Amino acid sequence: MPLPGGNGEPSPPPPPFPSLIKLGCAVTARHVDRLLTVLLRRRRHRLLAALASQALANGIAPTPRTHLLAASALLDSARPRDAAQRLALASSTSTRHLWDALLRRACARGGDPRHALELLSAAIEDHGMVLSPSTYCGMVVLLCAHGEVDCALRVFDIMTNRGCQVDDRICSSIVSGFSRTGKAGAGLHFYDKVKRQFSGFDPGLVTLTSVVHALGLEGRTGEMAELMREMECKGMNADAVFYGSMVHGYMSRGFLMEGLREHRSMLGKGITADVINYTTVIDGLCREGSVEKVTGFLDEMVRVDAKPNLITYTSLVGGFCKRDRWEDAFSIVRKLEQTGMVVDEYVYSILIDSLCKMDDLDRAFSLLTEMENKGIKASIITYNAIINGLCKAGHCEKAVEISEGVAADNFTYSTLLHGYINRGDITGVMAMKDRLEGSGISMDVVTCNVLIKALFMINKVNDAWSLFHKMPEIGLRPNTITYHTIIDKLCKAEQVDKALELFDEYKKDAGFSSAVVHECLIRALCNGGKVNMADQIFYDLVQKKIRPNFFNCRKLIHAHFKGHGEHSVLDFICKVGELDIDLFSSVCNYASAFLSKRNCCQAAMDAYKLLRIQAIAVSSKTCCKLLKSLHRNGNEEVIQPLLCDFIKIHGLLDLTMINMLSCYLSEKDISKTIWFSNYMDKGSVPVSVLRGAVFALKKQGEVLDACNFLKVAEQSGFSVDLTMYSIVVDGLCKGGYLEKALDLCEGMKKEGFQPNIVIHNSVLSGLCHQGCLTEAFRLFDYLENSKMLPTIITYTILIGALCREGLLDDADQLFQKMSTKGIKPTTRVYNLLISGHCNFGLTGKALELMSHMEELFILPDCFTLGAIINGLCLKGLYAKGRMEESRGILREMFQCKEVTELINSVGDKIQAESLVDLLSSACDQGRIDEIVTILNEVGLMLLSSSNSISYNALAHIKKVQKTEDAYGSMSNSGQASPVAYDISSNSLCRSSDGKVQSMIDGDDSLSKSSGDTDIDYRNLLGKSFNDDFESYYAGIASLCSKGELLKANKAVEAMIQNCG
């Protein structure tokens, strides 16, 4: 008779011992233990307890194992106190061994850790057991392995309180347990605490490996390197696991070079890398998209017999998907299948998720079908990828349909809610909210955040607040996204005070390390003009060593400038310099460039000096902006030393420096500019240099030379662009050379350049200033019929021309036409219309236009107010003999505190007596025309000071007068010769007779003198500011465009000094 199980069959269970008794067999304790073991495995706890009691009643003495089995049954029945009491019945010789086994069972997977703690407490407190350190160690290891780190810490506290020593295994288990549960920072805190409290604790390689892994998860790579140096100093040798943790820490933070360096260092020390080490390196490279570098490591793995596994190839598939190399990813999957390696669901989920992110849903669904055909069951992870792709593509209904057939989790509901929120579907949001609440799923913090956002969207603000306050009750802790969602909604609803209260609650939690909430409040406070409060929040962010978004730094600089001017900006960047010198570098560079763009030259220079004092590099962009600002404001004496300083910082190899130096030289000598650029660019002059030369000639009033320069540059093979044509055409039109401008436009068409709207606007301006309104409107009709849409500048030019000619009805119609086309009018357009109506006595229409400005929130400027005062007092009431009404308007204005402060500020700057008192006295005498003239000129000076330019206008005009005398003496001795091309040398030269060497035959007219403006200039000096501002402005602009800067300054001087 064969033995049971001899043919591989399982042994039959032992017969119940009542049957043995009936058969007359002697029942021993061994029989009882075997039967109880079977019952315990089958979880027949009640039957086990009954049989154990029956065996005792039948006189069968229980063994220690019998007590352990009975206690285990009680423990599995959630009766840890009864289990401890039953185990205490065992003999004392093997009690410690039994307690160790029962406590390990309590800590096993699937057990309740609370029962383990209760059992431990009963053993120590109720039964006075003295457990061995290995028992405590086993409990800690098992609890940490199952993610019950908090219970493990309580066991650790009990162990240390009873005098047990902390060893390497316990410390490493707890640190690793924290890392596995996403609390690597808490694990490092525990490690530091152990080192402080237990002086005898000497961490070994196992503990240090878990610590370096936690440091890598926290991104504290500097401390990882320091720990490695400490180990080398102690003579400790790291193994492959330790190096693998270091490489993972570097790679997970994107430090590829550092990770590769540690990997090579490990190999250099003779440590053999296994498949895990190579997979860690490959995964890090693939995460950063460096898939091309992986091939060498795969070859190396084959060479050292570390065969790549499925995880290695899965990382490679993810890397190819990250680089959108779908065919390569699918090729790897097909090769794996050919080699017999079974592809799991995770590989398919990566492919499906990547396809869904690229909106290739058809291919994603085909992969899902392929999985089903191969018998690979798709989990909720794969379905969530499909649902996410559908929601992003706007197919929320299809996503909901799929979600109803699977066991939806928090990610599923969050994705669906987010999809409806992005689509603005309130009905869908409410339906999904009801489904989530009825699902019985315990929400995580992400789902809770999305639900709060959804509640705000459907205007259930009270429910959102209720859910926020209920989060601690359901075991959730609000995170940064939670606070940001609520604070952002409060700020958008202009409830900033309530947002600040919530922000104070947010700041109390030291665990937050993101800048998103601070930045949300900073933007709201800056928009509301509360710059000081925004500063405090910004400083709090910097003091916490959290790097703010540079956009918010820019926002604060803009708010400071808008609220308190350039000095407030300087105070702000100085405060930043005290808190964070690295942030100060970028903020100060931007502030200097910003102030330069706003023509605040002195403040921009102060910011530049702050950078130089701190020995911080000044960016080339900042240098360029600062030089342009100084040049615009006539600070020529500062430009040259500053330019030399910039060249010392950046050198002459920087393209920006070359362009800046070329632009500076073009103001002095264009021939040197061309030679310098030709030399620096090895025979190729950049178009920016040629553009600067043309602009310099135009600015100097030599528009004809600029035109000749452009033509010769084009014939010589230099690169010419549309901007150069725009500059020359604009200069010709403003200089009165309209025919030359039109010829140039025809010539540029032959060269393949089509005039843009900027060039057409210049031609329109030239036609209007020469009174050719018919031709101007023909060109305007052509623009409307073509694809080149007129801009606000186009309409401004035509409206101004119509107003100057007195065609106010046509101007109003064009204004209405502009508005219907969706072009928003500017203050300049309103100024032209108001001035035009006031000049013809239509003050009612002018006031109506000003009211319309206020409705559109368009702020009037000094020209607007000057035109209104001019119209009401001079050409309105005063011209009709209504003296008292004119005086009443002026008296009411002089009683306004803000107006008097503005007027007196101008008087202080020009060192005059109180202008308000003077104007009030003139008003009593009835000298209305003189008062209006002075007010107009005060408005002009206030407007010129808006860019932070000094009020010292009279001193500047005297300086210009001296310069004119010097130029006059120079002209008596001999004029400087204009410039011309020498094509053979690709440079510029001057002719001996002082004229431009024309490269175009029959173009002698290009050297025509512009001295025919003397008559207009004399008429301009006799014109008062209140006569016709538009013609006065046009005359000044014409003088400036022709280079007659001295005459233009004389005109301004005459206007200021001879006023009234």
pLDDT of residue 1014: 47
Global model pTM greater than 0.85: no
Q: What's the pLDDT tens digit per position in 772-802? A: 888 888 888 888 887 778 888 888 888 888 8
Confidence band, pLDDT 50/70/90 cuts, at residue 953: very low
Query: Which pair of structure tokens corresponds to residue 639?
Result: 């430009």
Q: Across residues 599-613, what is the average pLDDT?
A: 84
Cα distances (angstroms) measured from residue 261 to each of 215, 256, 264, 798: 18, 8, 5, 69
DSSP structure class, residue 344: -
Q: Please report whether residue 91 resides in a domain.
A: yes
Q: Please report whether residue 1027 resides in a domain.
A: no
Asked which of 409-418, 419-428, 703-712, 866-875 is least confident by mean pLDDT, the reply is: 866-875
988, β-bridge pairs: 981
Q: What's the pLDDT tens digit per position in 1006-1039? A: 233 334 444 444 554 444 444 444 445 555 555 6
Q: Across residues 272-299, what is the average pLDDT?
A: 85
Among 615, 641, 662, which residue terminates a domain? 615
Q: What's the pLDDT tens digit per position in 733-759? A: 888 888 888 888 888 888 778 888 888
Q: Please report whether residue 556 resides in a domain.
A: yes
Asked which of 306-320, 707-721, 873-887 is least confident by mean pLDDT, the reply is: 873-887
Helix (H, G, I), strand (E, B) or coil at 989: strand
Confidence band, pLDDT 50/70/90 cuts, at residue 423: confident
Phi/psi at 860 (5° precision) = -75, 155
The enclosing domain of 70 has a CATH number of 1.25.40
Query: Which pair of structure tokens corresponds to residue 5?
Result: 């199980």
Confidence band, pLDDT 50/70/90 cuts, at residue 921: low
Q: Please report whether residue 387 resides in a domain.
A: no
DSSP structure class, residue 12: P
Other CB atoms within 10 Å distance of the CB of residue 396:
23
What is d(CA 390, CA 263) in angstroms, rounded to the nearest whole number?
A: 41
Q: What's the pLDDT tens digit per position in 232-276? A: 888 888 888 999 999 988 888 888 888 888 888 898 888 888 888
* Top-confidence residue, 623 or 939: 623
One-letter amino acid for residue 131 of the chain: L
**Is pLDDT above 80 for 731?**
yes
Confidence band, pLDDT 50/70/90 cuts, at residue 165: confident
pLDDT of residue 885: 57
Query: Which pair of structure tokens corresponds to residue 1010?
Result: 């512009």
Greatest pairwise CA separation for the chain in angstroms? 147
Q: What's the pLDDT tens digit per position in 976-1000? A: 333 333 323 333 333 333 333 332 2
pLDDT of residue 964: 32
The mean predicted confidence, pLDDT, of the chain is 75
Q: What's the pLDDT tens digit per position in 425-443? A: 888 888 888 888 888 888 8
Q: Where are the beta strands (DSSP E) in 147-227?
A: none
Helix (H, G, I), strand (E, B) or coil at 145: helix
The HSE-up count of residue 613 (CA atoms within 13 Å, CB side) is: 11
Q: Please report whether residue 407 resides in a domain.
A: no
Q: Please report whether residue 144 resides in a domain.
A: no
Tell how far CA 686 is from the center of its chain: 33
* Top-confidence residue, 197 or 968: 197
Please say whether the beta carbons of 904 and 868 come within 8 A. no
Phi/psi at 982 (5° precision) = -120, 100
* Top-confidence residue, 765 or 110: 765
Highest mean pLDDT of the ranges 6-15, 654-663, 1048-1057: 654-663
The HSE-up count of residue 500 (CA atoms within 13 Å, CB side) is: 13
What is d(CA 850, CA 872) in angstroms, rounded to the nearest whole number?
A: 13
Helix (H, G, I), strand (E, B) or coil at 824: coil
Confidence band, pLDDT 50/70/90 cuts, at residue 121: confident
981, β-bridge pairs: 988
pLDDT of residue 896: 56
Q: Across residues 797-812, what is the average pLDDT?
A: 86
Query: Which pair of structure tokens corresponds to residue 388?
Result: 């996410």
Please say whether the beta carbons of 298 and 330 come within 8 A. no
**Is pLDDT above 70 for 914?**
no
Highest mean pLDDT of the ranges 80-94, 500-514, 567-581: 567-581
**Is pLDDT above 60 for 140?**
yes
Q: Please report whether residue 258 resides in a domain.
A: no
Nearest to 832 by CA among 852, 848, 812, 813: 812
pLDDT of residue 1058: 41
pLDDT of residue 891: 57
pLDDT of residue 310: 87
What is the Rg, in whole angstroms, of the alpha carbon atoms belonging to the chain?
43
Q: What's the pLDDT tens digit per position in 55-104? A: 777 777 888 888 888 888 888 888 888 888 888 887 665 677 888 888 88
Q: What's the pLDDT tens digit per position in 27-59? A: 677 888 888 888 888 888 888 888 888 777 777
Among 129, 160, 183, which residue terminates a domain? 129
Among 590, 615, 640, which residue terminates a domain? 615
The HSE-up count of residue 351 (CA atoms within 13 Å, CB side) is: 28
**Is pLDDT above 80 for 928?**
no
Q: Across residues 370-390, what is the average pLDDT?
A: 88
Contacts of 981 (CB under 8 A, 6+ apart): 709, 712, 713, 716, 987, 988, 989, 997, 999
989, β-bridge pairs: 980
Helix (H, G, I), strand (E, B) or coil at 981: strand
Percent of the chain with pLDDT over 90: 0
980, β-bridge pairs: 989
**Is pLDDT above 70 for 948?**
no
What is d(CA 73, CA 43) in angstroms, rounded to the nearest whole number?
A: 8
Q: For the packed helices 240-252 and 256-268, what is the interaxial angle rounded to 10 degrees?
A: 170
Q: What's the pLDDT tens digit per position in 302-355? A: 888 888 888 888 888 888 888 888 788 888 888 888 888 888 888 888 888 888
Please say whether the beta carbons of 931 and 922 come within 8 A. yes
Q: Across residues 356-360, what is the average pLDDT?
A: 84
As a 3-state breakdown, the chain gives helix, strand, coil percent values, each rounded to 5, of: 75, 0, 25
Domain extent at residue 583: 493-615
Give the count of domains, the chain.
Answer: 2
pLDDT of residue 1001: 31
What is d(CA 1060, CA 71) in angstroms, rounded to the nearest whole number?
A: 113
H-state helical runs in 253-379:
256-268, 275-287, 294-303, 310-322, 326-338, 345-357, 361-373
Q: Please report whether residue 747 resides in a domain.
A: no
Cα distances (angstroms) measured from residue 544 to each of 507, 540, 547, 933: 11, 6, 9, 58
* Top-confidence residue, 261 or 847: 261
